[in-house]
A and B are shown apart, each in its own frame.
Chain A
């Protein structure tokens, strides 16, 4: 009996010892956060020369609670601009625009804006209705628009505090001549404030 008692105690001590001794201390390896988009830049270049107008949207804290911050878009009346959109992961120094170009058959930008702030395209954009006018300058291999480059002509009436909303949809195996802003997953959905100035 004595023997058993010793055995039991030894067992208890050994198992206790095991538990406390085998703790390792490895932190997870640092990962390249390749999914993150923390900077979206809209560059409006006026046709016929002049300084480009730039508006940005930035993420102050990754997946934290702070809101994405946007700067206002300030355009001139009655001017035609070419809009280039660039997307970046500044944390990793990664240009995501290139990835979108490579996968242009799966991605498409949709736009919506305050009605008639542009003379061309007129209306309010193609988010609600795919057939509505937006002037895409680029196409994927299937002849469907992409939207990294678009052309915009402002109205001749000044306005302020309008909305300019840019939506990037990821539509693997779905993108077609009729796929809409309701199809696929949303990679980007940001609304900028737009002012059309005299």
Chain B
């Protein structure tokens, strides 16, 4: 990339400022104010239709519609008290002023100890309208002992990239890692995303709600959102709440894991706080036929949050700590291709112990993630400015099986410190126009901590970036149009050590413009369509540029670590070649049909990614450990397309069913070949029935075999013939995709007042299966039957 000229930067800044002041000073007249909001059930997150919302001491009010939404028109006062009533629920009273966005009222039924709660600000405000997020509410019983990515995996269009059971990353529409943006409590989660075996350090116990955006919403959220955006949100403190809390405890038979969590919160009229603490200890997991030795884990986390409300400013504070020690399957370690061939051929993974243990030995990962966030919402006239600063500290240590005392030393020891600053401004609706403008900056410092006794796999680096964006929408009749633009600038400064311990340095600038455009059209009361075309980008990650040498079962060379002169490949020094930004354009549409007892959502999409980073085989190198094929990072053009289907049918208040299906097809369209690890077709059904205090749930699912996969050259073939040849342009895999499989899960929940007991059975048929998206599918089966019991008590 050439040096970035200053001109476009400045021009955009001026436009940006002009847009801000265009709308300043615009005020509404008295008595034409509107209050809109939504009424939901606090337990189920389901909308509550026909709830009465009135302004206290007046005759003005409204009734919520089928989706729980209400609109009160012709309001004169700046500040009012809203009273929300619904038969069988506790009445909520909420002081509303016009500085604050639409309230969401969570009604608690008379039967529970919970109080009704009003949430005023949207947790993740200013989202794109034409890329409406899918909300997934998480119960304490789901998150107990789970991983953050697994919580999301029930959603259509999502699967998981696993490195065994403890390291799990979300895949959205076939993409993951640096191609899916993760936002944790409003902050872009900064972690070592370049490694497939680096899971985001999100504490599942701190996840109350997940929002999934399947479109390319880089414009709103920043680079990397090629596949989509996942927003994790922790439980929020609420105003006007007496001191209350909850304690939960879970036990799982598989892995004999124990998880506990405790949270306490209190809300005054203008201040509210919440604290929580949680921990998990898990031992060796078990496949149907054998223990998965060294798959224990230990997790510990806590969080503190508070919010403060003043007439012109709201202040939110959030801090969390999450540490993990994750055991990796002992049988996954391979010295060379012979070992790999042995491992693939083994009926039981190598070095499997015949007994259960809580011990976590090498290989293992230790991570610590700390987040500190301070957010201000400032009200100036009719404007709202959100200013958010966050600091993240991410430690990652990976311990490999090594010789002697080196076993106690991490082979990878990285500390990543990230500062982010986000400023968002919602301009007041002007006619039919509404919009958001924002500014995002981040500064990141990645350091190798000395003492690994091995040359650092990735260099030290500092990333600085600035992005500005604007999104504007226009509503005309039954149609809302939306368009947005963003500009990003990123500087990367790198210092590393080459294979002879000599220092290399590099300094690079990247910049990119991204766009989004879409519309929502309401055909009638029941049928609507949402469609969006958006671009997204990312700069090459540190692994794609600087990988050098053995990584798990192969040798890999990053783009700057090899050169291909006519005489043959050279990896003798650093070759800083020009690389193009990875740029995607994704078109996604959602057709939504909503009837009283039936709901259907169909979401087709197509995503073309130019300059797509991937690795291709290039040759064979004879090392001290024997012969290895080696792979080079390269860029190609990728095309992903597919569709998600969600159908929901409700027979009565007790019985309902949901069907979810996802399909994705991916192709390297420059070389006409499939990629490895694309999630196969998946379909699942969830039937639930409530009988008295009991809720029964049955969840069968079927995952197909991935038939669109690269050809196989198995490890034994490399060993048998001295001169295996392969096409340097053709991706190959060491093992064919695993067979299709059927899983049956079920649960029974008993709840009474403030007490919940839930019994869950996963993989009830004890099916032996492997997932194509599990990197350990070469070595071991996935989990066998697991029974979970979860108890929670609210006080």
List chain A positions with a Cβ less than 8 A from chain B.
1, 4-5, 8-9, 11-12, 15-16, 18-20, 22-35, 37-38, 40, 57, 59, 61-68, 91, 96, 99, 102-103, 169-170, 172-174, 182-190
B503 in the interface (beta carbon within 8 A): yes
Residues of A contacting B447 in the complex (Cβ-Cβ under 8 angstroms): 26, 28
Partner of A172, one of B401, B503, B621: B401
| A15 B421 Cβ-Cβ under 8 A | yes
Known: A19-B443, A20-B464, A67-B622. A28 touches B497 (CB 8 A): yes
| A4 B624 Cβ-Cβ under 8 A | no
Q: Can you report 15 residue pairs joining A to B where beta carbons are below 8 Å apart? A: A22-B443, A28-B456, A28-B460, A28-B497, A29-B450, A30-B501, A33-B501, A34-B453, A62-B499, A91-B500, A99-B403, A170-B403, A184-B351, A187-B625, A189-B335
| B439 A12 Cβ-Cβ under 8 A | yes
User: Please, which residue of chain A has its CB at the minimum distance from the CB of B402?
Assistant: A35
Q: Chain B nearest CB: distance from A58 CB in Å?
A: 10
| B17 A9 Cβ-Cβ under 8 A | yes
From B194-202, B251-259, B549-557, B704-712, the one touching the partner chain is B549-557
Residues of B contacting A91 in the complex (Cβ-Cβ under 8 angstroms): 500
Contact count band on B = 35 or more
Residues of B contacting A64 in the complex (Cβ-Cβ under 8 angstroms): 499, 548-549, 571-572
B133 in the interface (beta carbon within 8 A): no
Q: Chain A nearest CB: distance from B26 CB in Å?
A: 12
Q: Chain A nearest CB: distance from B393 CB in Å?
A: 16
A16 CA / B462 CA spacing, docked (Å)? 15
B513 in the interface (beta carbon within 8 A): no
| B441 A174 Cβ-Cβ under 8 A | no
Closest 4 CB pairs between A and B? A63-B549, A186-B335, A189-B626, A185-B335
Partner of B462, one of A23, A62, A170: A23
Partner of B17, one of A5, A20, A188: A5
User: Please, which residue of chain B has its CB at the minimum distance from the CB of A188?
Assistant: B624
| A183 B350 Cβ-Cβ under 8 A | yes
B5 in the interface (beta carbon within 8 A): no
Q: Chain B nearest CB: distance from A98 CB in Å?
A: 10
| B404 A103 Cβ-Cβ under 8 A | yes
Residues of B contacting A38 in the complex (Cβ-Cβ under 8 angstroms): 624
User: Please, which residue of chain A has its CB at the minimum distance from the CB of B498?
Assistant: A62
Q: Chain B nearest CB: distance from A5 CB in Å?
A: 7
Residues of A contacting B401 in the complex (Cβ-Cβ under 8 angstroms): 170, 172, 185
Q: Chain A nearest CB: distance from B569 CB in Å?
A: 6
A67 CA / B571 CA spacing, docked (Å)? 12
| A1 B334 Cβ-Cβ under 8 A | no
| B630 A65 Cβ-Cβ under 8 A | yes
B242 in the interface (beta carbon within 8 A): no
| A28 B448 Cβ-Cβ under 8 A | yes
A148 CA / B36 CA spacing, docked (Å)? 81
Known: A99-B403, A170-B403, A188-B624. A33 touches B454 (CB 8 A): yes
B619 in the interface (beta carbon within 8 A): yes
| A68 B342 Cβ-Cβ under 8 A | no
| A31 B20 Cβ-Cβ under 8 A | no
| B549 A5 Cβ-Cβ under 8 A | no
Known: A28-B495, A63-B548, A172-B401. A182 touches B342 (CB 8 A): yes
B480 in the interface (beta carbon within 8 A): no
Residues of B contacting A24 in the complex (Cβ-Cβ under 8 angstroms): 445, 462
Known: A1-B25, A63-B555, A183-B350. A189 touches B404 (CB 8 A): no
B73 in the interface (beta carbon within 8 A): no
Known: A29-B448, A31-B452. A65 touches B621 (CB 8 A): yes
Residues of B contacting A185 in the complex (Cβ-Cβ under 8 angstroms): 333-335, 339, 401
Known: A23-B464, A34-B406. A61 touches B499 (CB 8 A): yes
A188 CA / B338 CA spacing, docked (Å)? 12
B311-341 interface bits toward A, Cβ cutoff 8 Å, 1 = contact, 0 = none:
0000000000000000000000111101100
Known: A15-B441, A63-B549, A65-B571. A35 touches B21 (CB 8 A): no
| A40 B497 Cβ-Cβ under 8 A | no
Known: A8-B20, A59-B623, A189-B336. A65 touches B557 (CB 8 A): yes
A176 CA / B1 CA spacing, docked (Å)? 57
Residues of B contacting A8 in the complex (Cβ-Cβ under 8 angstroms): 17, 20
Residues of B contacting A188 in the complex (Cβ-Cβ under 8 angstroms): 624-625
Residues of A contacting B465 in the complex (Cβ-Cβ under 8 angstroms): 19
